[in-house]
Amino acid sequence: MQYQDFRGERISRLGFGMMRLPVTGGDQASVDYRKVEEMFLYAVEHGINYFDTAYPYHEGESERTLGRLLDEHHLRGEVNIATKLFTLGMEKPEYDPRKMFAEQLYRLRTDHVDFYLMHGLHGDQWETLKTRFDIIPWLDSLRREGIIRHIGFSFHDELPKFKAILDDYDWEFAQIQYNYADHRIQAGDEGIAYARQKGVPLTIMEPLKGGSLIFPDYPEMDEIRRKHGLAKESFAELGLRYVLSQEGLLTVLSGMSTIGQMKENIDIVSRAETGCFTGEEQACVEEIREVLRQADAIPCTGCKYCVDGCPQNIAIPDAFRFYNEAKRYHNPASQKRGYDRSCSNLADCVECGQCEEACPQHLEIPALLKTVRAYLD
Ligand code: SF4
Ligand code: SF4
């Protein structure tokens, strides 16, 4: 394993993202403890010391599983726990960060958290945490007492918001989504450069875009890889090496679901240093990006002009975005969860045509919604 120095500590360059753990019966709350145990012990034995979970992962079972593993194997002193304050539902009267944190300590069977993040900040969430929940003095006091050792945030919004949040508090680290397909999305390349300039190291999530950059069943991508002399390099290796090559990182998280993925990732990271990405790999990635760019199936710009007039409250741009992502990567399963959550009412379309009139791209929206349903329902 390779390590990154962080304030005098050694953090493994690969972190175990515990949001896609193996489950039984397709139930996200039924984590397969024995399989996770095998992965966890292999990870510790091979030098991984950063384990990333969050309050909602696997409906709380991710934190509980990590707590049980650390307790049963007496390994709390060997590893860093990274977990997150859930930031959805702040408008509800029962939302209480202090109570949530106490519950997290209980689930994790520990008296302190090594890396604590405000989870997935977007919109006004950081402002709300500060003003409504007076979060800064509370975090500061927990840090002073050593109950939280390092404070950071994870992020899902646009670059200006990333810079504004980064500038607004004494963060020790931040976590962003980053991979070669999304290098200009959210914080992106510019966000990495900005954080580096401020001396705030970054944890990277979705380095393989939730598995989409593995390109199952995509012969065109295989051909590109071969053309660049990279036939022996897996898509997982290409994607991870791209991210690991960046400067200013704390660790790269991989949401591993099998012991096979863990072994492969550990092997890749052991050979990937900062600056490792070669010119041929870069040329290959650029060609893959071009194919992805041209694969946009529905030319929706996401302007949302269609949304307000829809009598059925259909999330039209979301439906088209999920469809395009699924088509682009030949991977409908990767979009299923978000699609099911936001687009369960597409069948309610009454074909009134209001959206079509509003759409500057002149998209035939009701017909396209049927295409989306046929692919993703
Ligand atoms: S055609 Fe369908 S999607 Fe468009 S505004 Fe009418 S109900 Fe909504
Ligand atoms: S108005 Fe058209 S282009 Fe804009 S979000 Fe709606 S469907 Fe997409």
* SS3 per-residue string spanning 54-109: CCCHHHHHHHHHHHHHHHHCCCHHHCEEEEEECCCCCCCCCCCHHHHHHHHHHHHC
Q: Is 352 in the pocket of ligand 1 (CB under 6 A)?
A: yes
State whether 226 and 271 are in the same domain. Answer: yes
Lowest mean pLDDT among 209-223, 235-249, 266-280, 335-349: 209-223
Q: H or E segment at 176?
A: strand 173-177
- Is position 112 within any domain? yes
Mean pLDDT of the chain: 93
* Ligand 1 pocket mutation pick from 300, 304, 312, 320 by most atoms within 8 angstroms of CB: 312
Q: Minimum-distance ligand to the CA of 351?
A: 1
Model confidence at 198: pLDDT above 80: yes
- Is position 76 within any domain? yes
- CATH classification at residue 244: 3.20.20.100
Closest ligand 1 atom to Cα of 365 = 4
Tally of domains within the chain: 2
State whether 205 and 274 are in the same domain. Answer: yes
- Is position 298 within any domain? no
State whether 188 and 321 are in the same domain. Answer: no
For 351, residues 6+ apart whose C-beta sits below 8 A from its C-beta are 366
State whether 366 and 273 are in the same domain. Answer: no
Question: Hey, how many other C-beta atoms are within 10 angstroms of the C-beta on 201?
Answer: 21
62 alpha carbon – ligand 1 mean position (Å): 40
253 strand-pairing partners: 15
Question: Residue 351 — pLDDT band, cuts 50, 70, 90?
Answer: very high
Q: Is 366 in the pocket of ligand 1 (CB under 6 A)?
A: yes
Q: Is 368 in the pocket of ligand 1 (CB under 6 A)?
A: no
State whether 188 and 95 are in the same domain. Answer: yes
State whether 126 and 213 are in the same domain. Answer: yes
For 257, residues 6+ apart whose C-beta sits below 8 A from its C-beta are 20, 21, 22
- Is position 300 within any domain? no
Residues of the domain holding 251: 3-286
Which tens digit of pLDDT belongs to each residue from 80-127? 999 999 998 899 999 999 999 999 999 999 999 999 999 999 889 999
State whether 366 and 253 are in the same domain. Answer: no
295 alpha carbon – ligand 1 mean position (Å): 26
pTM of the entire predicted model: 0.84
State whether 335 and 282 are in the same domain. Answer: no
Which tens digit of pLDDT belongs to each residue from 289-320? 988 888 768 988 788 889 989 999 999 999 99
Q: Minimum-distance ligand to the CA of 369?
A: 1
State whether 365 and 227 are in the same domain. Answer: no
State whether 267 and 340 are in the same domain. Answer: no
State whether 222 and 147 are in the same domain. Answer: yes
State whether 253 and 321 are in the same domain. Answer: no
Model confidence at 139: pLDDT above 70: yes
- Is position 301 within any domain? no
